[in-house]
């Protein structure tokens, strides 16, 4: 159903004029070379510590040695830390923030010559590293990435490799860390054995995404796999696959997107994943930072930046450069709040990535009968009442209003319980970075006194691409 959006888009334009909205600069890569910074290295790891709002770096492989140092990036400067205890020097290890236990977890890696591989587990609390003593653990290896599983509340690990001169052994096992012990999982399906792959938790879609890697540098895998908490599945989405490796993954919380930096020879643009892989074609080039092999990547949630450090410039040497990337132009939609259950369950509202001259598609699932889509610009108050507003006094216990409605469109759900609308966005660059909010009201006779339930809220930001 295509609805006219003249009234809504007029309000958008008025909002832009009132706020004095301006577009950010075209290039969003920034090279940072502070006087105090970690030494040049590749095969290092970064993890954003949400509890302390800093990005943690440990170890890595330099031109002549591996490191055992711990650093923090606070958004402006690198701070060298001096914990009383530290893991042995290594590179090509796994590092991730454990959201459930608010610790940075380190596992595995290898020494400089790759003659020794590790299978020790360390936790960092911001002050000191603590060596763990699990009853069992994955065998010694490097190139085994870690990701937080938001479904199970554990740290997930898959695969990895032993890279020794004349010996390459790749693994295809799945493990999880619960804060005290490692447990091997035996899913019905699993990716092929590999090292050099990358993984990240996707909390918005409650999954872990894994891609790239291979059995050697000459056999890169172009597949993308998704872990749902119980099994691996080969992602069937279309679009650009991150076949070039070794790359890095992180999760952009604000835009609810997986971000992938392609890291071999020539950088063009980051890849992003919602349902499909797509590329940022407007961000300019990062030929030095992106042309490196084996840098580290993290998303700084507080400062809304991708942070990339180090890497190996092909044919030369390890790097000590810090690159920051601001994904200002990306159109995205992020759900917030929770819906309330009706006859078909809790209605869920989702939206597509949108940009000028394209359509904004909104879809409500678990819907029946009459469905009203509401759109607006405010999530703070409605008719002098603070939002979110408890709808129990209006005959909808357990439901909440999350937005102040300024435009509505009605339709009916199909037999599959899905209702959708589309609205074309004009080809007007002044709309870029404007946020529109949406929520649906779904008929549900007999559920409550009003006979209706509400979905979650949805924040839609119009992008250049």
Question: What confidence score (pLDDT) does residue 80 get?
Answer: 98
H helices present in 419-458, as ranges: none
**CA dist 186 → 175, 224, 230, 372 (Å):** 9, 19, 9, 44
Q: pTM score, two decimals?
A: 0.75
Distance CA 337, CA 456 (A): 5
Quick check: 165 pLDDT over 80? no
Distance CA 323, CA 268 (A): 14
Residue pLDDT, tens place only, 380-428? 999 889 999 999 999 999 999 999 999 888 999 998 999 988 877 777 7
* Per-residue confidence band for 279, with pLDDT thresholds at 50, 70 and 90: low
Q: What is the mean pLDDT of residues 66-85?
A: 97
- What six digits make up the tokens of 95? 């590092």
Domain with CATH 2.120.10.80 in the chain: 29-325
Question: Which range, of 97-111, 232-246, 286-300, 314-328, averages the lowest pLDDT?
Answer: 232-246
CATH of region 6-22+332-461, choose from 2.20.130.20, 3.40.1010.10, 3.40.50.970, 3.40.50.300: 2.20.130.20
Quick check: 93 pLDDT over 90? yes
Question: What confidence score (pLDDT) does residue 157 get?
Answer: 98
Distance CA 100, CA 148 (A): 9
How many angstroms separate the first and last alpha carbons of the chain? Answer: 23
Question: What confidence score (pLDDT) does residue 99 get?
Answer: 96
For CA atoms 33, 39, 45, 46, give the dihedral sign.
Answer: negative
- State the chain's mean pLDDT as an integer: 83
Question: What confidence score (pLDDT) does residue 184 get?
Answer: 98
Give me the residues paired with residue 198 across strands.
211
Higher pLDDT, 347 or 23: 347
Higher pLDDT, 265 or 30: 30
Quick check: 131 pLDDT over 70? yes
Q: Residue 314: phi, psi to the nearest 5? A: -55, 130
Distance CA 188, CA 176 (A): 16
Distance CA 121, CA 218 (A): 30
Question: What confidence score (pLDDT) does residue 239 get?
Answer: 47
Q: Assess contact for 310 and 292: CB atoms under 8 A.
A: yes
CATH of region 29-325, choose from 2.120.10.80, 2.40.160.100, 1.25.40.10, 3.40.140.10: 2.120.10.80
* Per-residue confidence band for 89, with pLDDT thresholds at 50, 70 and 90: very high
Q: What is the mean pLDDT of residues 224-230?
A: 92
DSSP character at residue 171:
B
* Per-residue confidence band for 10, with pLDDT thresholds at 50, 70 and 90: very low
- What six digits make up the tokens of 363? 């879809």
Domain with CATH 2.20.130.20 in the chain: 6-22+332-461
Distance CA 211, CA 215 (A): 13
Quick check: 272 pLDDT over 60? no
Quick check: 346 pLDDT over 80? yes
- What is the rounded (10 degree) CA torsion for 151, 156, 159, 164? 160
Quick check: 263 pLDDT over 70? no
* Per-residue confidence band for 256, with pLDDT thresholds at 50, 70 and 90: low
Which distant-in-sequence residues (6+ apart) come within 8 Å of 351 by Cβ? 333, 360, 361, 362, 363, 438, 458, 460
- HSE of 426 in the Cβ direction (CA atoms, 13 Å)? 14
| Residue count of the chain | 465
Which of 3-7, 176-180, 249-253, 379-383 ranks highest by mean pLDDT?
A: 176-180
Q: What is the mean pLDDT of residues 186-199?
A: 92
Question: What confidence score (pLDDT) does residue 249 get?
Answer: 74
Question: What confidence score (pLDDT) does residue 265 get?
Answer: 39
* Per-residue confidence band for 312, with pLDDT thresholds at 50, 70 and 90: confident
């Amino acid at each position: 159903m295509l609805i006219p959006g003249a009234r809504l888009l007029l309000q958008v334009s008025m909002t832009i004029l009132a706020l004095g909205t301006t577009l950010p600069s075209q290039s969003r890569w920034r090279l940072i070379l502070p006087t105090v910074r970690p030494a040049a290295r590749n095969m290092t790891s970064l993890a954003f510590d949400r509890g302390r709002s800093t990005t943690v770096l440990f170890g890595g492989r330099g031109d002549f040695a591996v490191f055992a140092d711990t650093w923090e990036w606070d958004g402006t400067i690198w701070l060298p830390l001096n914990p009383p205890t530290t893991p042995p020097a290594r590179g090509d290890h796994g590092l991730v923030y454990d959201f459930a236990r608010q610790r940075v977890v380190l596992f595995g890696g290898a020494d400089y010559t790759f003659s020794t591989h590790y299978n020790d587990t360390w936790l960092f609390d911001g002050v000191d590293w603590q060596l763990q003593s699990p009853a069992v653990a994955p065998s010694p290896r490097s190139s085994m990435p870690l990701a937080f599983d938001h479904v199970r509340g554990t740290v997930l690990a898959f695969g990895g490799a032993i890279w020794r001169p004349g010996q390459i052994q790749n693994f295809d096992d799945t493990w999880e860390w619960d804060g005290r012990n490692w447990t091997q999982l035996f899913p019905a399906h699993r990716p092929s054995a590999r090292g050099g792959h990358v993984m990240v938790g996707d909390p918005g879609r409650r999954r872990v995404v894994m891609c790239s890697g291979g059995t050697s540098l000459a056999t890169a895998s172009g597949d993308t796999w998704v872990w749902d908490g119980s099994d691996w599945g080969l992602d069937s989405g279309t679009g650009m696959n991150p076949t070039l490796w070794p790359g890095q993954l992180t999760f952009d919380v604000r835009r609810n997107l997986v971000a992938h930096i392609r890291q071999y020879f020539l950088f063009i643009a980051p890849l992003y994943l919602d349902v499909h892989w797509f590329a940022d074609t407007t961000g300019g080039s990062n030929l030095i930072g992106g042309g490196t092999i084996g840098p580290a990547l993290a998303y700084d949630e507080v400062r809304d930046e991708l942070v990339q450090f180090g890497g190996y410039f092909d044919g030369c040497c390890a790097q000590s450069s810090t690159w920051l990337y601001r994904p200002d132009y990306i159109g995205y939609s992020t759900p917030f709040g929770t819906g309330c259950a009706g006859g078909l369950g809790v209605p869920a509202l989702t939206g597509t990535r949108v940009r000028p001259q394209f359509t904004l598609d909104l879809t409500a699932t678990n819907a029946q009968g009459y469905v009203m889509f509401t759109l607006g610009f405010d999530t703070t108050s409605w008719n002098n009442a603070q939002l979110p507003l408890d709808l129990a006094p209006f005959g909808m216990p357990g439901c909440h209003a999350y937005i102040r409605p300024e435009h509505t469109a009605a339709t009916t759900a199909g037999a599959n319980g899905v209702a959708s609308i589309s609205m074309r966005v004009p080809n007007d660059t002044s709309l870029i970075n404007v946020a529109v909010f949406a929520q649906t009201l779904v008929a549900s006779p007999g559920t409550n006194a009003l006979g209706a339930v509400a979905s979650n809220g949805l924040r839609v930001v119009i992008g250049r691409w």
